[in-house]
Amino acid sequence: MLHIINKSPYDRPALDSVLKTGEGTILLIEDGVYAAAKGGAVEPKLKAAMGNFKIYALTPDIEARGIADRVMDGVLQVDYAGFVDLVAENKTNQSWL
């Protein structure tokens, strides 16, 4: 399952809810990409989840928010074509608010 998160983990609990599901693929878009930043309060949770989840972040959103130099190791970056590929590769997609 592809879990698409577009809200900041500092504003909404969507990432925590996804992590409770146990496994899958996470795509961080829009303000959700703040979860991928090194040194944030969310970093330990996301690093711990990397054993169960593949974690992607949308590169244009990372760049737009000025955190391109702070993306943590293990987070894979994708462009819009990669976003489409992830949606097509996953039988089920869930957008979290």
The pLDDT of residue 67: 97
The total of structural domains in the chain comes to 1
The pLDDT of residue 59: 98
In the structure, what pLDDT confidence band is assigned to residue 22 with cuts at 50, 70 and 90? confident
CATH number of the domain encompassing residue 92: 3.40.1260.10
pLDDT in tens, 30-82: 999 999 999 999 999 999 999 999 999 999 999 999 999 999 999 999 999 99
User: Strands (DSSP E) along the chain, which ranges?
Assistant: 2-5, 24-28, 53-58, 76-78, 93-96
Residues spanned by the domain of 25 = 2-96
Contact assessment for residue 13 and residue 97, using Cβ atoms and an 8 Å cutoff: no
In the structure, what pLDDT confidence band is assigned to residue 97 with cuts at 50, 70 and 90? confident
In the structure, what pLDDT confidence band is assigned to residue 9 with cuts at 50, 70 and 90? very high
pTM as predicted: 0.96
